[in-house]
Every structure is written in C-alpha cells, then in structure tokens.
A and B are shown apart, each in its own frame.
Chain A
C-alpha cells in the first residue's frame, strides 16, 4: 500500500513549480515527506546540492522549509494570534513569550500582507474556511522560508483572495525563493507555474514548462479525457421527483431548495466550505435541521438521525468525505465493514448467520471488484485506498438505498478505481437510483452530472444544465462576487 513508488523531481530557487495529479496520485504524500512529517522508505533528498535528512518537521523548518498543508492545522483553543505565532513567538527576557504583543503584532502582519477583517483574538472555529486558509498561509510566510510548499491553498478562496495569494507567490519568486504548490484548478496552474510536474499513481510522469489542459489530463490519467468519463445515461423527461427540499436551513445552510429526480446525477459545486457538507450531513440526519421541508416521493419526512434516513422505504445513503474518520472501522474485517448497515438482514433474532453474511459479502465484492483475499478476516487497514473506498460504497449498495449522497468519494483514490466508481455511478442511475454528487475536483462534477447546483455562502447561487455544465462555468459561478 505504497503512496509513492518512484517519485523524483527537482525544483529551482526563483521558481514557482506546480505539482499536479489526481486525488491519490501522491502529491500530498510527497509534500509530507518534504516537510519532514513522513519518512521515505527509500530515496534521497537534496537541498542546494547537498543531501539532507528531514528527520522531523523541526529539522525541515530549520533548513528553511515552510508548508501549508491541505488539512488545516489551526489549534481550535488558541486564538488566531497565538496560532499565527506558534513556535515563532516574540520573546522577551529569559526567553519568555510576550503574550501582550501577540495581538498587535498579528495585526501588523495582517496589514503588511494585505489581509483585513480577521480579529486576532478570535478562535478558529468561529472563522470561515477561507479565513482559516489565509491565516495558515500567513503563518507559513512569517518564517520567511526558502522553500514554500502550498498543498491546495486555494480550495476555499474566492477570486480576490486567490489574486492576493498569487501576488504573494510572485513576490516570493522575485526574492529568489522556491514555491511548490498543488491545485486542481488548471487555470491557476497555467497562470502561475513556471514548470509543471505531473504525478500519476505514485510515480513521476513528466515535467514540462508548457502544457495544455488536454495534455495534462492525458498524462495525469493515462487516458484521454473522453475515455476517462463514461457516458451518462439520459435522464427521462417524465422522471418523477424522488427528493425535494425547500428552504433548508442549518448551521451553514441559509435556505436551500432543489429537486432530485429518479435516475438523475445532481452535482453540487462551489468553493470548499460553502455549506455543502452541512447539506449532505443534514439530508442524512447526521445534523439537526433548523428549518425547511424535506419530501421523499412527495411525502413530507422528518429525518432526525441516520437510521431514519436509512430505514425509509426509499432509503438514503451517505458516503462521506473522510473514510478513515467517518466511514470505516480500520481494524475490523472487510466483511464487518461491508455488512454494518444491514446487520438486521444477515441475522435471525439478533444472531448472525454466517452463510447469509458470506453471500452478501460475496455480492458486494464481485459487483465492485474489491481486491480482498479473505474478507472475513482481512483487516480494512491493509487494503489500498481505492479498495477501501469501494468497501465503503459497497456497504451502501448492500443496503439497497435508492437515494445516494456521494461526498467527495474520489479523494485519495487511484485512477483505475476512479474509473470503476464512475462506471458504477452510471450503472446505479440506469437502475433507477438517484445521486447527489459533490467533488473537490470540478472536472468530475462537470463531466458526471446531469445538472449542477453551485453553492455559495449557504445558498444555491447558480444552477447549470446541459451544455453549460463545464468546469470553467462552475468555477466562474463559484467565485463570482455577486450571487446569481
């Protein structure tokens, strides 16, 4: 289960270098190694020609490396100022930290970098995802790194904020620093990068100065873009509405309404952190609904917890974003994970029936081509990321739910598995199921969905159908200042 197989690349000082590749290609793992967070099993690292060993993040920092990780690392109980200066605080006599100076200095730093509207005494959980991303960037810059890694720095940033970041990055280049970043948005990559390195399945594939998007996709996926995505089954004109929501309100939802029809793949797009997660979790009953109406097949329903959603006649299923923390029980077996939502059906009077369970497991393994030798015993943790994701999807296939909520399910999954998942999605809607689909890769949303709802600030800002559902249009609708 290796994330990187033979990955090499080099970047120069005074350069902006982009790392591109699909989810699961190894970019994040590479960055973690280069920041001292992970140790490589083999290989060498050289900075300015001399070999280095990043034994720990501490060592990497000392050698001039700064990183903004994809998973934000702000401490929830420390203020913005405390977070900003963590391990880098202004010190006074006897090396004691000058706490009183933290907030004023934070303001200075924000002013210098052109950031406004962030209160240094606030706690991170009260801030928007975009603000948190900005603070993380500011924190990395404070240390004046020689080499700066940015892993998906713009996933939550709107147009103006992205411009701000670009300006900073260009300044760093002028100063002779090296900036290495990853992004899913081709526009940004083309705009900012001097050189582009492409990873695929843990291996370095190419490094170029110039690249068209089509060439990039082919290199990233090993297929041409047309072959990557299967054909969408057409949506019947008279397909009934299976799920209808009106004016949904929640922690981050400010009034969402839409209808999902049978056999439809409805996409949800927009910048990260605009309420998409809230929507999915609330539809599944994992979060409280503050207001609004929900109808399944025309009948009003109250879904207060996940078992309510699962047990409906139509059945709703949620495949969440982070399979490790929200989906799978890694130390348990493949079998245990697969049948978790249908325990009632594989037991009689509460007692498990091995033969029935085996049959269910076999069904899921065969349908999804899950690579497992002994599902009753094999631990989930030993499966590859792609296979793990398949098991999670398999759990809900066995539950035979008719409405499937797929939230960023291709994260950390290899190309081959992705393709399998796309094909599965098409099969499912052809069978009459309905899908609500969110992905951090806009291309996927554009290519797979019949219709796309672009969310912004807890509302549906735009609805795109037909020929206008391409990635560019989605991105444009996501970052446009004025909501539609």
Chain B
C-alpha cells in the first residue's frame, strides 16, 4: 500500500489552483458573479446604474447588511440563527443617540456602551441556547421581543427627551465622509471582511467553528468546548447587530422605530446567497459579502424600475427561491 501525501513530480500550478476550488469556494465566486450580473442587468435597463457613483452608493447600503450579516454568518455556521437582530439593532441605535446626545466628547463612551449592549444580548442568547437547551429560533425570537419591549418602554416610544438627538459628528464622519474618493464606511467594511476571513480561515477558533457546525457531537468528542464557543458566537452576533445600529443611525442621522426590521431577512438571505449553509458548517464571510451586494443591488434595480412595493416583494422572494434552487439544495443521504 503506498503512502499518499506526496507525488514525485511537482504539479502544474493551474492544477493545484483548480483542485483548491472546493464547492464552498466556488459558491463564493458564484455569489460575486450574481452581483456582477445584477449590475449588468441594471446598467442595461438604466444606463448609469453601473456608474462609479451608483456602485459606491449601493456598496454603502450593502455594507449595512454586511455588518449585521457578519454576526448572522457566524451563528449560522454553527447551525444556529439569530432572530433578535432587528431590535438589538434598533435598541443599539437609540442607545447611541441618547447616551451621546450628539456630543463628540461622549462619542467614545456611547459607542462602547452600545457595543456592550450587543454583547450582553448575545450573551443571554448564547447562555439560553448552549446551556439551557432552548432552540435558537425560540430563544432569539424571545430576545427580540424582550429588546423590543425594553427599547419601546425605556424610550417611551421614542418620545423621550434625548431620543431625537443625532449621532455624534465624529461617528457620522466615519460613515459619511470620503477618504481618497471612497466612502469611509467601505473601509470599515473592508476591515470587518479581512478580520472575518482571517478568523474563519486562519485561526484555530475558525477551525473549531466549522467543526462544530459540521458535527457538534464529534467536535465535543474531539475536546472542543462547544457550549462556550456557542456563547461567544452569539455574543459576536449581538455585537455586529449593535454595530449595524451605530452605522445606520450615523448614516441616517436620527433613530427611528422599526429601522432594524428589514435586516433580519436580509442578513439571512445575504448569507445563504453567499453559499453559507443554513444547516451549518459550510460557507465563508466573503460569500456573505457578495450576497449582501447582490441583494441590495437587486432591490436598487427594482426601485429604479419604479416597480410598485408589492412587485418588489414578489420579485425579491422569487429571486431568493431561484438562487436557492440553483445551489442551496442539501445533499442527498451521504
């Protein structure tokens, strides 16, 4: 019987490259391809859609989805889901404006406090799911309700004195100013993308995430602390939802009620389009990133088409189904 690891003659580079294109990596490429396709179609229907200015605008909006979807991706990778995103985001946005009162001097504290809120809600989610065996759907659903109630109650329905404050200028600048002609927010997104990719592909933490997502019993029997990692991942999801809230309110200026609602569907859809399996264990953040862009570009095309509200919903849902059928199908029995 021959040992298998090495061949005598060195392999041609292109062969190696082709072999490293696992199905998961291919899906990331498809997701980027889908984004490019949407831009192309948009340009055809509306010349100017594919202009630099237009692309930049779409990318900025996509980044909002991208931030929230980062946390969602982590949680989905281990076979969970975070349905508390809408009101963690909303609560975070309101907390930012009310604790900073629009003043730059309090910006740093406000941001830290807000991120801490995200971590805290994630902690509660994680503890319930990992240690008390509450199904993720139920726990995060309940958490969403809890956050909604707390946010509405404490802010008195957003009628409290400080609720109409704006986000501090410093924070607004991070999102809205331009650096070298590119919105600063996109640099932030790039940083997140790099960090996520590094975390998932190059660290032991990332390796463990995939192990848990693929087979959490086997991961446990290999010595991985599945529960602890689950809690940490939900905390990160909460963190990213809070980050999404900060960035959104910085972009829009003021907080509104219900601003987080669209991000639940979009964060999940972005991940799935990007090739992240809802069952866990497969996918990369780069795919989610591409998925966010595809999604937002799709909505923009529909808006540009002056499609009525109802038409957009139908096309949206239909498009998701088509993409799912294309490559979201689960394997037959192994």
Contacts and interface: CB of A to CB of B under 8 A. Distances in A.
Contacts of A343: 204, 207-208
B22, B220, B222, most chain A CB atoms within 10 A: B222
Interface string A296-331: 000000000111011100000010100011111111
Interface stretch (B39-47, B209-217, B244-252): B209-217
Contact of A331 (B2, B217, B281): B281
A440 B223 CA distance: 26
Contact of A351 (B1, B5, B20, B203): B203
A365 B207 contact: no
Contacts of B220: 286, 306
A235 interface: no
A350 B205 contact: yes
B222 to A, nearest CB: 5
Nearest to A387: B4
Contacts of A473: none
Given A286-B220, A336-B210, A377 B22 contact: yes
B205 A331 contact: no
B5 A366 contact: yes
Interface string B62-97: 000000000000000000000000000000000000
A352 interface: yes
A53 B19 CA distance: 39
A366 B3 contact: yes
Nearest to A381: B334
A329 B215 contact: yes
B37 interface: no
Given A326-B218, A328-B215, A350-B204, A365 B20 contact: no
A365 B4 contact: yes
A428 interface: no
Among the interface residues B5, B205, B281, which one has the most CB atoms of the partner chain A within 10 A?
B5
B5 A306 contact: no
B218 A351 contact: no
A284 B221 contact: yes
Contacts of A318: 221
A483 interface: no
Interface in A35-87: none
A307 B227 CA distance: 13
Interface in B247-298: 281-282
A320 B3 contact: no
A347 B203 contact: yes
Given A306-B220, A306-B221, A365 B211 contact: no
Nearest to A370: B4
Interface residues of B, number: 31
Interface string A336-347: 100011011001
Contact of B211 (A320, A340, A362, A369): A340
A350 B203 contact: yes
Which interface class (under 10, 10 to 19, 20 to 34, 35 or more) fits A?
A: 35 or more
Contact of A306 (B4, B222, B281, B282): B222
A361 interface: yes
B215 A369 contact: no
Given A307-B223, A350-B203, A375 B5 contact: yes
Interface string B318-334: 00000000000000001
Contacts of A254: none
A344 B218 contact: no
B204 A352 contact: yes
Contacts of B5: 361-362, 365-366, 372, 375
Contacts of B219: 329, 340
B221 A327 contact: yes
A286 B204 CA distance: 22
Contacts of B2: 369, 371
A69 B137 CA distance: 35
A20 B214 CA distance: 34
Given A324-B334, A332-B211, A352-B207, A340 B222 contact: yes
Contacts of A284: 221
B178 interface: no
B132 interface: no
A371 B205 CA distance: 28
Given A330-B334, A350-B205, A377-B20, A325 B215 contact: yes
Contacts of A379: 22
Interface string B176-195: 00000000000000000000
6 contacts: A332-B211, A350-B203, A352-B202, A361-B5, A365-B4, A366-B5
Report the 8 A-B pairs with minimum CB-CB distance, sorted nearest first: A329-B214, A307-B223, A343-B204, A310-B223, A340-B222, A369-B1, A365-B5, A372-B4
Given A329-B215, A344-B204, 9 more contacts: A329-B214, A332-B281, A347-B204, A352-B207, A365-B5, A369-B2, A372-B4, A377-B20, A420-B1
